[in-house]
Amino acid sequence: MSDFMPAYVYNDDPDNPHKVQAPKPVPEGMEKCDGCNGSGTFYGAGAVVNGKFVGYSGMCYRCRGKGHMSPKDVKRNRYYDRHVRRIPGF
């Protein structure tokens, strides 16, 4: 996962339904979420059309919208990534 969010995520347009707040603070003992880069919003399949993101966005499934993960969340996500999630072609 990259350490940056695309420029269209930080759009200044107040009517943009996909505007994401800045990353949330990470409490001590927690890790920044690698699914949403700390914002709590997951961006799914979509494209940028005329400077606006068009596609799916919703609460991040890895951190449940908190922007950070507890050790329990990290363990759950690692198990899912290693044993449940399937990548097509492998």
* 17 within a domain of the structure (yes/no): yes
Angle at 57 between CA 87 and CA 39, to 5 degrees: 95
In whole angstroms, give the CA distance from residue 34 to residue 66.
12
* 25 within a domain of the structure (yes/no): yes
* 1 within a domain of the structure (yes/no): no
* 89 within a domain of the structure (yes/no): no
Domain extent, residue 51, equals 7-84
Domain count, the chain: 1
In whole angstroms, give the CA distance from residue 41 to residue 67.
8
Q: Mean pLDDT per segment of 10 residues, for the chain of length 90 residues?
A: 47 60 79 86 79 79 89 91 75
CATH of residue 74: 2.10.230
* 90 within a domain of the structure (yes/no): no
- The pLDDT, as a whole number, for residue 72 is 92
- The pLDDT, as a whole number, for residue 75 is 93
Instruction: Compute CA 54 distance to the chain's CA centroid, rounded to the nearest angstrom.
Output: 16
- The pLDDT, as a whole number, for residue 86 is 72
